[in-house]
Amino acid sequence: MWRIPTYNGRMNSPDRLERQMPQWLPKLVLPGIITALLLPGPSHGQQTTEQLAARCAQLGAIFDKYGTRRSEGSGGPDMTRLGAGIDCQKGRYEQGIKALEGLLQRNKIPYPPA
C-alpha cells in the first residue's frame, strides 16, 4: 500500500513527501533477480550450427569465386577446398571453416571476419 504523504514542518522527517516500498516486495523480487543472474544464458562466444553452416558456405563461395584456377593445365580441383566442403557437408563445421580460412589466407584472398 502506498502511504499518504503528510507534511509536519520538518524536512528530514520520515513523513516527508515520499513513497514507501511494501515490505513484501523485496522478499518477492530479490530471489527472482538472483535466479535470473545465476541462470546460464546464451553464450555470445559460441555460434549455432546454422551460423557455422552459413559461414562455411560463405567462405566456400568466396574461394570458388576468386580462388579457382580456370586455365588449361591448372592441375585440377583444389583438394583442400574439396576436403573443407566435405567437412562442412558432414557437419564438421569448425574443421571446414579453419581449412577454408587457411586456404583463403594462402591465396591472399580477403574474406569477412567471423
For the chain, the domains span 49-106
What pLDDT does 37 receive?
A: 65
- Whether 5 shows a pLDDT value over 90: the answer reads no
SS3 sequence of the chain: CCCCCCCCCCCCCCCCCCCCCCCHHHHHHHHHHHHHHHCCCCCCCCCCHHHHHHHHHHHHHHHHHHCCCCCCCCCCCCHHHHHHHHHHHCCCHHHHHHHHHHHHHHCCCCCCCC
Q: Please give the single-letter amino acid code of residue 52.
A: L
Question: Residues 6 or more apart from 53 whose CB is under 8 A from it?
Answer: 88, 93
Is 114 or 87 the better-scoring residue by pLDDT?
A: 87
Identify which has the larger pLDDT, 114 or 18: 114
Rounded distance, CA 63 to CA 109, Å? 8
Is the pLDDT reported for residue 6 higher than 50?
yes
Least confident range from 48-52, 70-74, 79-83: namely: 70-74
For position 39, what pLDDT does the model report? Answer: 65
pTM over 0.75: no
In sequence order, which residues have a C-beta less than 8 Å from that of residue 94 and are 6 or more positions away?
52
> Residue 17: its pLDDT value, please?
46
The answer to whether residue 31 scores a pLDDT higher than 90 is no
